[in-house]
Amino acid sequence: MPKAFTPKVVTANALLEGDVVYLSEDDRWVRRLNEAELLTDEAHADLRLIEAQARHAEVVGAYLADVKPGPNGPEPTHFREDFRRTGPSNHAHGKQAEAS
């Protein structure tokens, strides 16, 4: 029996700033995970990743990251993606600084 597909988002680092970005449903690179397109279909996810990787003048290292649906949009399922969503824990830098 094939393994159930875990929901995903397309994520990467922005070319100019290097910060974490996510692909939105309307093809923008957004900074907040909860604004990312939730990908629940494997074929569609693969297609979105190919499209993202082709945008190499905008981002670096696009990949599919596991998420789960939450009340306000996708949420991380692994601590690495949780840190990428927020920023380092020793300084209030990165996304947590931008959000505050």
Residues that bind another protein (CB under 8 A): 13, 15-20, 56-57, 60-61, 77-80, 83-84, 87-91, 93-95
12/50 Cα distance (integer angstroms): 12
Instruction: From 15, 30, 86, select the one nearest 97 (Cα to Cα).
Output: 86
Nearest approach in angstroms of CB 51 to another protein is: 16
- Of 28 and 93, the one with the shorter C-beta distance to another protein is 93
8-state DSSP, 2: P
The residues pairing with 22 across neighbouring beta strands, listed in sequence order, are 11, 30
Nearest approach in angstroms of CB 4 to another protein is: 17
- Of 25 and 99, the one with the shorter C-beta distance to another protein is 99
63/49 Cα distance (integer angstroms): 7
- Of 2 and 18, the one with the shorter C-beta distance to another protein is 18
Nearest approach in angstroms of CB 97 to another protein is: 9
- Of 19 and 27, the one with the shorter C-beta distance to another protein is 19
Q: How many CB atoms lie within 10 A of CB 36?
A: 25
